[in-house]
Amino acid sequence: MKRIENLCFRLKCHAEFISASPWLKILKQVQDYRLVLILIFTFLIFNLDPRPTRAQEMTSENFKIQGGNFNMTSGSKSSTNFNLSDVVGETAAGVFASKGFLIQSGFLNVSAGETFTFTVTPALLDFGQLIANNPIERELHIGISTGNVAGYKIGVSENHPLSSQTGAEIPDTTCDPADGGASKKQPQPCTYSIASKWMASTTYGFGYRMTGRTVSSNFSASNLFRPYAATSRNEDPALIMQSTQTKVTDSAVMSVKVNIDQHQPVGIYTNNLRFTASVGI
């Protein structure tokens, strides 16, 4: 209390403030609020901002450890006609890590040590209660990171169209129908590999569109949709994203749309969307 009063005196506070302030009541217990602020700030910086540890290249005046492999013998040899990379003596290949060490051992594999990551968010698309002629769109975020491997491909398929336990189905969209020749450019029905316009609220079904840097050129406009390829119809997954470049981190958004008519039987409709990601072969 005395220290608080001293502190307050230095800060020219009033005596009544000391006794009335709820803040200072707390400070009475912890003695010095400046110390509290410093502690909170330091705690936040050191505990909530852990950066990844970065390894250093091992070099000295005489040596530079540069080998891609750690074996009995390994390295790259070349002559005018040949390039040879050899590894002798290791039984198990892979990247073995322990505290302070990282060993890439075994036969030479250019992709060893690289990580391929694929993310889809969220893990469930909930369309809620469907209302006739009221299209619902939900978004899926897709992310991919390849490491030092050339390219990737992502495909998608559904197990079957949205169906209820009684066997009723919400059909996969075929997109907006032709308008009977009113416009010069007749819309084509969309398929799992060809996108087409789906704007009318009287067009029913289930389909998707994509936006992103590496998505299929099929989705050049915002209202171009495709139905999903269905494994129940023996259709192969449709390609939605691809790249041929190395060290890429890409993302895309898939907008999934469902629209039903007034004759659609009431029920809980479900299906499964499966995304397949692979390095570029």
Partner 1 sequence: MENQKSKIKSQNYNNKYKLITFVSFFLTFNFALLTFNLRHATAQSLSLSISPPLLEVFIKPGKSITQKYKLTNNGEPTLISLKLAELNEYGINLENSSSDKWISIIDSDIVFNLPFALENGQAKEFVLKIQPSSQLKEQDYYRALVFSTESSYSGQTTASTISQNLVSPVLITLTSTGQVNKAAKISRFEIPRFLDSFGPLKVNIFIENIGNIYFRPNGDISLEGPLAKGNFKIEPNIVLPETLKILKTASSLDMENTLNLPGIYLGKYNLKVGFTLDEGNIRIDQTRTFYALPWKAGLFLLFLYIFVLILRKLRKRKK
**Toward partner 1, which CB reaches closer, 78 or 183?**
78
Say if residue 122 is preceded by a cis peptide, omega within 30 of 0.
yes
Residue 186 near partner 1 by CB under 8 A: no
Answer whether 252's CB lies under 8 Å from 241's CB: yes
- Chain positions 187 to 216 lying near partner 1, rule: CB under 8 A, are 214
Query: Exactly one of 2, 10, 29, 49 binds partner 1 (CB under 8 A); which one?
Result: 49
- Chain positions 123 to 162 lying near partner 1, rule: CB under 8 A, are 123-130, 140, 143, 146-147, 149-151, 153, 155, 158, 162
Phi first, then psi, for residue 226 (nearest 5°) are: -135, 150
- Chain positions 67 to 86 lying near partner 1, rule: CB under 8 A, are 81-83
CA angle (155 as vertex; 149, 160 as ends), nearest 5:
155
Q: How far is residue 24 from each of residues 19, 27, 154, measured CA to CA in Å?
A: 8, 5, 60
Query: Exactly one of 3, 9, 23, 186 binds partner 1 (CB under 8 A); which one?
Result: 23
User: What is the C-alpha to C-alpha distance for residues 264 and 200, in angstroms, rounded to an integer?
Assistant: 17
Residue 107 near partner 1 by CB under 8 A: yes
Residue 249 near partner 1 by CB under 8 A: no
- HSE at residue 123, side-chain half, CA atoms within 13 A, is 1
**Toward partner 1, which CB reaches closer, 186 or 245?**
245
- Chain positions 251 to 280 lying near partner 1, rule: CB under 8 A, are 256, 258, 268-280
CA angle (245 as vertex; 241, 246 as ends), nearest 5:
120
Query: Exactly one of 7, 70, 75, 116 binds partner 1 (CB under 8 A); which one?
Result: 116
Query: Exactly one of 2, 10, 29, 45 binds partner 1 (CB under 8 A); which one?
Result: 45
Q: State the angle between helix axes of 22-30 and 33-48 in degrees (0 to 180), rounded to the nearest 10.
A: 80
Query: Exactly one of 69, 71, 74, 106 binds partner 1 (CB under 8 A); which one?
Result: 106
Instruction: State the nearest-atom distance from the C-beta of 183 to partner 1, in Å.
Output: 27
Q: How far is residue 91 from each of residues 70, 88, 96, 113, measured CA to CA in Å?
A: 12, 9, 13, 17
By CB under 8 A, the count of residues binding partner 1 is 84
Query: Exactly one of 236, 249, 261, 265 binds partner 1 (CB under 8 A); which one?
Result: 236
- Taking CB under 8 A as the binding criterion, the range among 54-62, 111-119, 181-189, 192-200 that sits at the site for partner 1 is 111-119
- Chain positions 51 to 70 lying near partner 1, rule: CB under 8 A, are none
**Toward partner 1, which CB reaches closer, 129 or 183?**
129
Q: Identify the three-state secondary structure at position 39.
A: helix
**Toward partner 1, which CB reaches closer, 142 or 175?**
142
User: What is the C-alpha to C-alpha distance for residues 118 and 145, in angstroms, rounded to an integer?
Assistant: 7
Q: Identify the three-state secondary structure at position 252.
A: strand
